[in-house]
Amino acid sequence: MPINILMPALSPTMEKGNLAKWLKKEGDTVKSGDVIAEIETDKATMEVEAVDEGTLAKIVVPEGTADVPVNQVIAVLAGEGEDVKSAASGAAKSAAAPAPVPKAATPSAPPASAKEVPKPAPGAATPAAAPKAPAPAPAQQTPSGGNRVFASPLARRLAKEAGIDTGRIEGSGPHGRVIARDVEAAKSGKGMKPAASPGTAPTAAPSMSDQQVRALFEEGSYEVVPHDGMRRTIAQRLTLSTQTIPHFYLTIDCDIGRLLAAREEINISAPKNKDGKPIYKLSVNDFVLKALALALQRVPDANVSWTEGAMLKHKHSDIGVAVALPGGLITPIVRNCETKSLSTISNEMKDLVARARARKLKPNEYQGGTSAVSNLGMYGIKDFTAVINPPHATILAVGTGEERAVVRNGKIEAAHVMSVTLSCDHRAVDGALGAELIGAFKTLIENPVMMVV
């Protein structure tokens, strides 16, 4: 039987992807492990590998196609000994009835390929580390009013994140089924049924519609720039974070005079490569990552993630770093940061940042982590607060290092001071525990020799 190659789910937040490029053409022989296509997600560009041998009978989705739903048939592979023309003719039927879009994938999910939709089968082409989409939940939901509401799994999840009762949304899908676009319309106050009778659970107040916002400005005085996948994902995740995580903030000033002196001395004495260039060049941010990683080891009760059933207490400090990209940001992670030298952290970060900006990171390189750093010091920002990125319980916002007047032994002196603000999830980290963590960070960052022993 022909093998349907499906749009894989490459990250937990991926719902659609762009088919950037086909690396094989119809009629080409495909071997296991061959890279056959490139898929663009909201965060990165991933390669799709074949896991079976055969002939690429039909390309269903041409390259350059945007917003292809997860689990939709993108190509058909004819197995060994199978008639290619017959397999290609069957592709039209597969394309006419694409698989339903599942909920967000999980890192432990199997390849998103199947001989029959939506059941995965071992012969389909899929990325080497592609996450498997969980089985879709039943496509109905019963609201508190008792009337049965038909909604897709994706629509239910989006409605839950937005705090909207699906029972109040007018469905535009088959037989009145609520689908994703209906939820998006409901967020703008469109397509909502009249308010239910007293006793119905309250819903989130809708924001202004696009038309209401545009009506406030003169026609032609603005340019409409459509949201891309990355910007939509950032908006959804950070809105969810601020709505569901009780944030509190702790700010402290750190004297980084010793750090700057140590950094200069280390960089001057760095060994050279064959081209005469230093094999590493430490930044202040490298010290910040190491200090936060060690502080989390000193205060292990703060190195946690909140779940409704239990607290996840992490053994290692996996530190994410916010990296600005055109139109958004991504947070690559330095794993086991507490065990790595400053030079290793520095070189690893340079590699992660370069590949992040080229959209070449693998999902495991930016998913998860136990805490994160957001540094705006290079922009001259003195201090700010950062939004926690789940499943983290903390994030450290780092401001610029600058000369300030300080009082020492009754005398006013100049010192290099850097302000940092720790955002904490109050469900997992209480005030005293957060103060202990940021205090441990201050001790380490002000005494850099403690980070290299």
Structural domains of the chain sorted by starting position, each given as residue range(s) with its CATH number in brackets:
3-96 (2.40.50.100), 140-227 (4.10.320.10), 245-451 (3.30.559.10)
Q: Give yes or no for residue 190 having a pLDDT over 80.
A: no
Q: Tokens at residue 290, please?
A: 């190491």
Structure-token pair, residue 207? 């924001």
Task: Say what the pTM is.
Answer: 0.63
User: Among 7-21, 79-93, 176-190, 354-368, where is mean pLDDT lowest?
Assistant: 79-93
DSSP state of 302: G
Cis amide leading into 118 (omega within 30): yes
Active-site annotation holds for 426: yes
204: CB partners within 8 A, 6+ apart: 162, 163, 164
Chain position carrying tokens 């990209």: 325
Distances in whole angstroms, Cα of residue 120 to Cα of each of 113, 123, 128, 338, 453: 5, 9, 15, 39, 50
86: which DSSP letter? H
Residue 276 in tokens: 């005469």
Reply yes or no on whether the pLDDT at 14 is more than 90: no
Measured CA to CA, the distance from residue 4 to residue 125 in angstroms comes to 8
Instruction: Tell me which range, 29-38, 88-97, 170-179, 418-427, is most confidently predicted by mean pLDDT.
Output: 418-427
pLDDT at 441: 98
pLDDT score for 419: 97
